[in-house]
Chain A
Amino acid sequence: MQDTSRNLRRSVVRSDPAVVLAIRGLHKSYADTVALAGIDLEVSAGTVLGLLGPNGAGKTTLVSIVAGLRRPDAGTVHVGGIDVVRTPQRARGLIGFAPQDTGVYTPLSVRNNLRFFAGLAGMRRAEQAERIDEIANALGLEALLDWRAAELSGGERRRLHTAIALLHRPALVLLDEPTTGADVRTRSQILQLVRRLADEGSAIVYSTHYLHEIEELDAFVTFVDAGRIVATGSTAELVRQYGASALELTFVHDVPAVARIEGAHVDGSMVRIPAADPAITAAEILPRLGTHAADLRSIEVVRPSLESVFLTVTGRRFGAQTLEPVG
């Protein structure tokens, strides 16, 4: 009994009370594949952390470990000072989790889906009823509360899926690609509710590969690539530090040699040329194309953004295959 209480005390770490999620040296591999290669991360109350990275970057593994669904090979995860790896059940009370794939009880009504998870989270009946109405209003589910989840559209089901994670106002919300497959209205409602919950004091980890959602949420950003954090900071800081303008030329066939200038990146039939002022660069490069100008399919000006941040720090376009560096 004494050992147990000592273990529990050891599993609670008191650091900065504003830090809801603290991750140190997290490693995870699946056979020979390294999913996480040493992640250090902190998320404070009232903060939205946008966890960005292409498919296979390690985002879902990271979120699953924090949710207590997988054990890391090494490293620690504390939620509200509680060690998730050693005492996952204690930590789960502080977490609201929406996995990547929609998970709702389709034979049950929307209300009973919400009621079940509210009950598991320890909410009393009166509190449940009030909060269910509140979250149903916020996500446009109020008229659907007595519908079976099986009768909902894909977008409505996605809203119910997200509502379950946010219902009990958890200290830490883990949303793994919450808007995948969602319609415009659903996406907008989810983003608004996430922002509101953060304003009310929850710490939110928002994993996505939709960069514009992170910009819309004005989130603190962490780029993950090949299991490592490659850049972290506020959207404005990152864009200021790493964001660069560029000119993208896409050809009908291969990129001609004349367009492969030093510092450019080629991806199939597209070349991206870093440019302080894309208009001036365009004026310089287009006359040099000569007869190849007829092969141009499109010209695009890329302004500094999270996408250009990712390109700068990884040398690859966000969500694209490895680029072939030139020069």
Chain B
Amino acid sequence: MSLRRLGVILAHEGRLIRRDPFPILVLIVFPIIDMAFLKAAFRAALVQAGHPHANGAEQVVPGQAAMMAFFVVSLVVFAFFSEFTWGTWDRLRASPASSIEIVLGKALPRVAMVLAQFVVVFLAGIVVFDLHIRGSVIALIPLVAAFSVCLVLLGVAVTAFCRTAQQAGSFASAGMVLFGAIGGALVPISVLPDWARAVAPAVPTYWVMRGFRSVILDGEGLGSVVAPVMVLGAMTVLFALVALRRLRFDETKIAWI
């Protein structure tokens, strides 16, 4: 792998992202709008779950950020499918860039987008919605980083599996709501039915929300996010293996955008 070539692809992806910043706005603005509506509704649920001082922001800020972060799966999918729309995929493959440089070049900027989203949404949560992080803020860094990388690799795996942009887009849209609901991002996990709580550990959102709860509500530190980070890391490896096994660079994707 050539770092210089990877740098060229990263700069190029950066230019493409800057040409259309609307998805970044969606990532950042939508959760903030949702927070304004939903904060009060979650206060009672958190109090009932044993957090008498909670004001609702402890659920709605990380929950909406984690749920909307799933949107990055779509962004990764479209980063690949757009190459077919522009007719540039074969050009890129025939260039000296290797497969791993192309995948990293598309993945890393989207990881950065999710990280930026969490920073801005949490800052808005603290300043506007009175979010108090009772535990270690430092503990949130590996948690958010592991979740971001996990979602982006899920996007690569979805790209590998789907032959049309419609398939990939449908999965990404439905997945955002489904993973958000089951994982305890849309509503606190304590209000979910038993069956949902049983399957929740299968989705990445559950683990990031578990980490958020332990740091934000229970006031714990780095030790409390080790398990969520490890599981998110294992899921990332799984998605990477699926992508490696299934992603065929000579496959023609059908893009309808």
What residues of B have a CB within 8 angstroms of the CB of A68 in the complex? Answer: 93-94
Chain B, range 4-55, C-beta contacts under 8 Å to A: 4-5, 8-9, 11-12, 15-16, 19-20
Contacts A108-B15, A108-B16 given; indicate if A103 touches B96 (C-beta within 8 A): no
Q: How far is the CA of A324 from the CA of B236 in the complex (A)?
A: 63
* Segment from B70-78, B83-91, B161-169 that makes contact with A: B83-91
A112 touches B15 (CB 8 A): yes
Q: How far is the CA of A105 from the CA of B4 in the complex (A)?
A: 21
* Segment from A1-9, A119-127, A185-193 that makes contact with B: A119-127
Q: How far is the CA of A100 from the CA of B12 in the complex (A)?
A: 23
Contacts across chains A and B counted by CB atoms under 8 Å: 68
With both chains docked as a complex, state the minimum distance between the C-beta of B247 and any C-beta of chain A, in angstroms.
15
With both chains docked as a complex, state the minimum distance between the C-beta of B26 and any C-beta of chain A, in angstroms.
18
CB of B98 within 8 A of chain A?
yes
A103 touches B98 (CB 8 A): no
With both chains docked as a complex, state the minimum distance between the C-beta of A175 and any C-beta of chain B, in angstroms.
12
The closest CB in chain B to the CB of A91 belongs to B96
What residues of B have a CB within 8 angstroms of the CB of A89 in the complex? Answer: 96, 98
Interface of A is mostly: loop
Contacts A89-B96, A92-B95 given; indicate if A101 touches B87 (C-beta within 8 A): yes
CB of A220 within 8 A of chain B?
no
Instruction: Please pick, from A104, A106, A107, A120, the residue contacting B95 in the complex, using a CB distance under 8 A.
Output: A120
B95 touches A105 (CB 8 A): no
Contacts A93-B96, A119-B8, A122-B96 given; indicate if A103 touches B16 (C-beta within 8 A): no
B16 touches A95 (CB 8 A): no
CB of A245 within 8 A of chain B?
no
With both chains docked as a complex, state the minimum distance between the C-beta of A121 and any C-beta of chain B, in angstroms.
6
B94 touches A97 (CB 8 A): yes
A67 touches B96 (CB 8 A): no
Contacts A69-B90, A69-B250, A105-B86 given; indicate if A117 touches B95 (C-beta within 8 A): yes
What residues of B have a CB within 8 angstroms of the CB of A116 in the complex? Answer: 8, 12
A103 touches B15 (CB 8 A): no
Q: Residues 132-176 of chain B: 1 if any A CB is under 8 Å from the residue's CB, otherwise 0?
A: 000000000000000000000000000000000000000000000
CB of A164 within 8 A of chain B?
yes
Instruction: Please pick, from B20, B90, B250, the residue contacting A107 in the complex, using a CB distance under 8 A.
Output: B20
CB of B97 within 8 A of chain A?
yes
A120 touches B97 (CB 8 A): yes
A103 touches B90 (CB 8 A): yes
Contacts A104-B87, A120-B5 given; indicate if A92 touches B94 (C-beta within 8 A): yes
With both chains docked as a complex, state the minimum distance between the C-beta of B205 and any C-beta of chain A, in angstroms.
31
With both chains docked as a complex, state the minimum distance between the C-beta of B33 and any C-beta of chain A, in angstroms.
27
What residues of B have a CB within 8 angstroms of the CB of A38 in the complex? Answer: none
Q: Residues 82-111 of chain A: 1 if any B CB is under 8 Å from the residue's CB, otherwise 0?
A: 000000010011010101011111111000
Instruction: Please pick, from A70, A93, A105, the residue contacting B250 in the complex, using a CB distance under 8 A.
Output: A70
Q: How far is the CA of A76 from the CA of B235 in the complex (A)?
A: 41
What residues of A have a CB within 8 angstroms of the CB of B91 in the complex? Answer: 97, 99, 103, 117, 164
B16 touches A107 (CB 8 A): yes
A121 touches B96 (CB 8 A): yes
Contacts A69-B94, A97-B94, A116-B8 given; indicate if A103 touches B87 (C-beta within 8 A): yes
What residues of B have a CB within 8 angstroms of the CB of A92 in the complex? Answer: 94-96
What residues of A have a CB within 8 angstroms of the CB of B5 in the complex? Answer: 119-120, 122
The closest CB in chain B to the CB of A164 belongs to B91
8 more A-B contacts (CB under 8 A) besides A70-B250, A104-B88, A117-B91?
Answer: A92-B94, A97-B94, A99-B87, A103-B88, A107-B16, A120-B5, A120-B8, A120-B95
Which B residues form the contact surface with A (CB < 8 A)? 4-5, 8-9, 11-12, 15-16, 19-20, 86-91, 93-98, 250
> Can you name 21 A-B residue pairings with CB atoms under 8 Å?
A69-B93, A70-B250, A97-B90, A97-B91, A99-B91, A99-B94, A101-B87, A102-B87, A103-B86, A103-B87, A104-B86, A104-B88, A106-B86, A108-B16, A108-B19, A120-B5, A120-B9, A120-B95, A120-B97, A122-B5, A164-B91
- Which 9 A-B pairs have CB atoms at the shortest separation, nearest pair first? A103-B87, A119-B8, A107-B19, A97-B94, A67-B94, A103-B88, A120-B95, A103-B91, A93-B96
